[in-house]
Structure 1
Amino acid sequence: MIKVHLIVLILIGVLSSCVGTQKGNCSDVYSHAVPFVGNAWFDSNEMPPQRMDFDEAGALNWKEENKTLKIYFRTEKTGDIKLGLNAKVLVGRSKIQLRFKGEEKEIVVKDSSWHTVCLGMHTIEKPGYHVVELRGIKPAADSYGLYKELLLDGAACSDSLYFVKEDFYWGRRGPSVHLGYQVPEEAGDIEYFYNEITVPEGQDVLGSYFMANGFGEGYFGIQVNSPTERRILFSVWSPFHTDNPNDIPEEQRIKLLKKGDEVYTGKFGNEGSGGQSYLKYNWKAGITYGFLLKAHPSENNSTDYTAWFMDPELNEWQLIASFRRPQTSTYIKRPHSFLENFYTQMGNTSRMAYYTNQWVRNTEGKWYELTKAKFTADATARKHSRLDYAGGVHKGKFFMKNCGFFNERVAFDQYFERKEEGLQPEIDFSQTK
């Protein structure tokens, strides 16, 4: 009888051990796989950061030392969540450290074939974006291993998990957002569009394009191109639809009419094609800059577009460029602004700007203030790959914000209205000939 009780106790102990292991971190069953290629960044002080090197299968060969690898995902629920990695080493065994929700844990990766590395069970107490941090401790040879996916399971990620599943290039760039300004119907034909932008200090992030004066056929704004270079960019699309500017027939190419001092002009492609101009200019965060765009029909069924930039420290309008677009006869249509990140390495860093004091001037010389705008977003946001975007009115000013995996999302496709300021632009149009 004593032997029977002893056997039962041993069996109970074995079963308890197995259940504990299953609940803790040793099950290979995960309901979701978050690919590193679209959702992971190295935390680095390098500017610009190096591009992450993923192979054709989406695997990262982690060789970088003294850098933290961060993987992002979002949940709308709380509760338990089980973490794992799809990983392998090339030789030997490597050691890394996991950080998640204030917990730290050392992990060993030792198999040379793809396998599940268990990271344990954790608890999510607040919905929103979450970041799993991995730090290399000891590599195997010159690598910490190859990593494909963060594996997730549990109540917190059931029916409410968001991450980049496809179109990884655009997912890494992050969501682009727009403000479409509403022009009063009585305004008629719009010849001039005036706008202002203020980028707060610390928000002038590398890879940002703060586009001020968008129109049906192009765009005009300011960029952060490198740690030492900034630009004022003005471009007009060709009516011939292609991503290769060399394919555009001669009769449908954008023609340069004039340009400002030290302004580069040329062609652009990859996102449509057309004429491009930019001035390398060290604009500064915290200062409000003015943008003025003119459009009017010209000869032979064409339209001329001209852009000027105002730096309050110089207090004069600087010509950027004037382009002629063939097969087009129009005034300014669809005045809008947008905010985008064009460096995939900076998709995990947020940036924002204020867009203020919008006005249009019709062909009769009458100004109209634009106080209502529709907030919209691109496909990356619309298919819920990234939810780190916001826009609307803050402190009486239109604003837009994107990237960085912040939580305060603002729904797109809604209208916002700011108060009338009545600060009609005082422009000496003799400076804009």
Structure 2
Amino acid sequence: MVLSLFATGQEKSNVIEVPFAGNSWAAQPAGWETWFRTSRAGNVVVYIKGDGKGGKWTFSLNDEKKSVMLPAGDTGFVKVGEWQLADSGYHALFAGALQTRSVYAYGRANSKEHKKPDAKQTGKQGEGQDEEDEEAAAAAKLSESGIKAYRLEGDALSGENNYVKNNEGNYFYWGRRGPSVHLNYMLPKDFAAEWFYNEVTVPEGEDQVGSYFMANGFGEGYFGMQVNSPTERRVLFSVWSPFHTDDPKLIPDSQKIRMLGKGKDVYTGEFGNEGSGGQSFLRFPWKAGRTYGFLLRGVPNGKGMTTYTAWFRDPEAGGAAVNDGWRMIASFQRPGTNTWLTRLHSFLENFIPETGTLSRQVFFGNQWAADASGKWVQLTSAKFTADNTARIGYRKDYAGGSDGKRFYLKNDGFFDHFTPIGSTFQRAAVGSAPAINLKSLPTGN
């Protein structure tokens, strides 16, 4: 039975067909690694389907190597050999061409010790490079491998198995990015939040290129910090238009996000591809291991407009005064909206498919919300959720939780243990509300 006919990536069978394109990355030394997850240990027999050009290949699984000659003109499945999987969890099958092929090398060795790529090997090549162009380039590199798919058989496949099944919904792209994970904070009933405060700490070594550590999400937008390339980092604040489109040029003037002000050195413009709206960002060299403050305000005017304003605090720029270190990012007005802040949340995502093999983690702590009177309440409960890549079982390398004082999120890197979606976590309450003078925060121009 060919599993490409099934509806999800978590099928129970002792035979699975793993597409190369949605589950593979170029790897060192000079080859490709394909990841799949099993819920059982046991034997696995591997077959390879090539593009018909033939050649001699070597394969490695759990550091045991086997070689096979693919006949020229043969586009069917050819048996490679049998391996024993000692444990359940994620497994990487490495393939390298020994003859007739020139293989592009990228990434890391065939090991679960996840190494950060060299700066020359990854990252967006320039500001404004189209995401679709990057996707096409990555697909072209994968096609150079000459591998179309693997068929895996054996006892190890008799339980639940996880991999990207097909490209319906563009999951060869989304699956290689990896699962996005979220923390949804629980407000007291009937509490009208005007302010939302959060603190973000990215541990050293977890700041992989392509990471978006989103601190202050709300019903109409998000606010956080990114690793855009080996040499650039940003603080990003975006508000969606109420007009649903992926092309900002199609938004009617009456439904466009209006920029009311911005801080020094902040870029403002429009964004598209995943909804459209107003975007602002500050190029800022934030550092792993340090804690940064994020403050968001949402104020409805009662006439169908809500103004959203974001501030960012650098602890190294602060002095003795209460509001030292805070800087305004931007203020946007959203039409067709009459609401206080809702759906307060944080998330972690990877937006570069080529770094989808690298684990990343972030801590969120000291969450507070305040109403229009300035009354602060702590947010000490959070519900863990994830995107469709996780929910349909194409990737299972996602986690979230609490260390007691802070919440955390983790994704990518093909770690074995995952957090059940829908789990609820608690953190300990702290003694006092944020020391911020809300009436004297910096304004923009």
| 2:413 aligned with 1:404 | yes
Determine which of 345, 358, 364 is the counterpart of 2:354.
345
* Structure 1: runs of 5 or more not aligned: 1-29, 45-65
- Report the equivalent of 2:110: none
TM-fit CA distance, 1:250: 0.5
**Structure 2 residue 180 is the aligned partner of structure 1 residue 171:** no
Instruction: Return the alpha-carbon distance in structure 2 between the equivalents of residues 432 and 179 of structure 1.
Output: 29
Instruction: Look up the equivalent residue of 1:43 and give its one-letter code.
Output: A
Shift of 1:248: 0.8
Cα distance in structure 2, aligned partners of 1:215 and 1:374:
15
Partner of 1:99: 60
Seen in structure 2, the aligned counterparts of structure 1 residues 141 and 335 have a Cα distance that, compared at 3 Å, is closer
- The separation in 1 between residues aligned to 2:384 and 2:148, in whole angstroms, is 35
Q: Distance in 2 between matches of 1:310 and 1:141?
A: 49
Which stretches in structure 2 are left out of the alignment for 5+ residues? 1-13, 105-143, 319-324
C-alpha displacement at 1:404, in angstroms? Answer: 1.1
Which of 58, 63, 70 is the equivalent residue of 1:109?
Answer: 70
CA distance in 1, matches of 2:145, 2:292: 48
Counterpart of 1:279 (choices 282, 295, 298) is 282
- Contact in 1 for aligned 2:221/2:239 (Cα 8 Å): yes
> C-alpha displacement at 1:94, in angstroms?
2.5
Equivalent residue for 2:36, pick from 73, 92, 108: 73
Corresponding residue for residue 156 of structure 2 = 156
Larger Rg over CA atoms: 1
Q: Which runs of 4+ in 1 moved over 3 A?
A: 140-145
1:373 to 377, 382, 388: 382
Preserved contact between residue 404 and residue 426 of structure 2 (Cα < 8 Å): no
1:126 equivalent in alignment to 2:87: yes
- 3-state SS of the aligned residue for 2:146? strand
Deviation at 1:142, TM superposition (A): 8.1
- Asked whether the equivalents of residues 139 and 145 of structure 1 are also in contact (C-alpha less than 8 Å), the reply is no
Q: 2:435 is matched with which residue?
A: 426
The aligned counterpart of 1:34 is: 18
Give the match's secondary structure for 1:37: coil
Contact 2:192 2:341 in 1 (8 A): yes
Distance in 2 between residues matched to 1:71 and 1:326, nearest whole Å: 46
| 8 Å Cα contact 1:109-1:145 kept in structure 2 | no
Q: Which amino acid aligns with 1:146?
A: G
Deviation at 1:249, TM superposition (A): 0.7
1:304 aligns with 2:307: yes
385-394 or 99-108: bigger deviation: 99-108
Root mean square deviation of aligned Cα: 1.7
Question: Aligned residue for 1:48?
Answer: none
Q: Is the 8 A contact 1:243 1:273 kept in 2?
A: yes
The range that moved more, 208-217 or 107-116, is: 107-116
Three-state SS of the structure 2 residue aligned to 1:285 is coil
Task: Report the CA distance shift for 1:123/1:330 in structure 2 as closer, same or farther (over 3 A).
Answer: same
Q: Where do residues 317-356 of structure 1 align in structure 2 (5 Å cutoff)?
A: 317-356=326-365
The residue number in structure 2 matching 1:214 is 217
Q: Name the counterpart of 2:196.
A: 193
Contact 2:193 2:369 in 1 (8 A): yes
User: Which is strand-richer, 1 or 2?
Assistant: 1
**What CA deviation, in whole Å up to 9, does each residue of 1:217-244 have, x standing for no partner?**
0000000000101110000001111111
Opposite residue 297 of structure 2, the aligned amino acid is: K
Q: Is the 8 A contact 1:357 1:423 kept in 2?
A: no
**Partner amino acid, structure 2, of 1:42:** A
Partner of 1:417: 426
| Aligned equivalents of 2:207, 2:432: Cα separation in 1 | 26
Deviations 1:186-217 (A, max 9, x none): 6x211100001100001000100000000000
What do residues 18-61 of structure 1 show as CA deviations (whole Å, max 9, x unaligned)?
A: xxxxxxxxxxxx932100111000125xxxxxxxxxxxxxxxxx
Instruction: Report the alpha carbon displacement of residue 150 of structure 1 after superposing the two structures with TM.
Output: 1.5
Question: Aligned equivalents of 2:210 and 2:102: distance in 1?
Answer: 34
Residue type of the alignment partner of 1:79: G
Once residues 263 and 103 of structure 1 are traced to their aligned partners in structure 2, the CA distance between those partners, rounded to angstroms, is 52
Following superposition, the deviation at residue 423 of structure 1 comes to 4.2
Amino acid paired to 1:155: D
Question: Are the aligned partners of 1:89 and 1:140 in contact in 2 as well (CA < 8 Å)?
Answer: no
Q: Give the aligned residue type for 1:73.
A: F
Task: Classify 1:145/1:109 alpha carbon distance in 2 versus 1 (closer, same or farther; 3 Å).
Answer: farther
In 1, Cα distance between the equivalents of 2:149 and 2:81?
15
Q: Which amino acid aligns with 1:40?
A: S
Partners of 1:142 and 1:431 in 2: CA distance: 55
1:102 CA displacement? 2.5
* Structure 1 residues 145 and 402, CA gap change in structure 2 (3 angstroms): closer
Percent identity at matched positions? Answer: 48
Q: Is the 8 A contact 1:222 1:230 kept in 2?
A: yes
1:313 matched to 2:316? The reply is: yes
Matched, 1:137 2:141: no
In 1, distance between residues paired with 2:441 and 2:235? 19
1:184 equivalent to 2:213? Answer no
Rounded to whole Å, the distance in 1 between the matches of 2:101 and 2:199 is 53
Give 1:428 deviation, angstroms.
Answer: 2.5
Partner of 2:393: 384
Alpha-carbon distance in structure 2 between the residues aligned to 1:289 and 1:140: 48
Q: Which moves more between the two structures, 176-185 or 102-111?
A: 102-111
Offset of residue 145 of structure 1? 5.7
Shift of 1:68: 3.0
CA offsets 1:289-341 (integer angstroms, 9 cap, x no match): 00000000126310000000000000211110000000111111111000011
Alpha-carbon distance in structure 2 between the residues aligned to 1:96 and 1:362: 64
Match in the other structure for 2:370: 361
What is the match of residue 243 of structure 1?
246
Q: Could you say what secondary structure the match of 2:254 adopts?
A: helix
Structure 2 counterpart of 1:213, one-letter code: N
What is the aligned length? 380
The residue aligned with 2:107 is none
Q: Is the 8 A contact 1:353 1:399 kept in 2?
A: yes
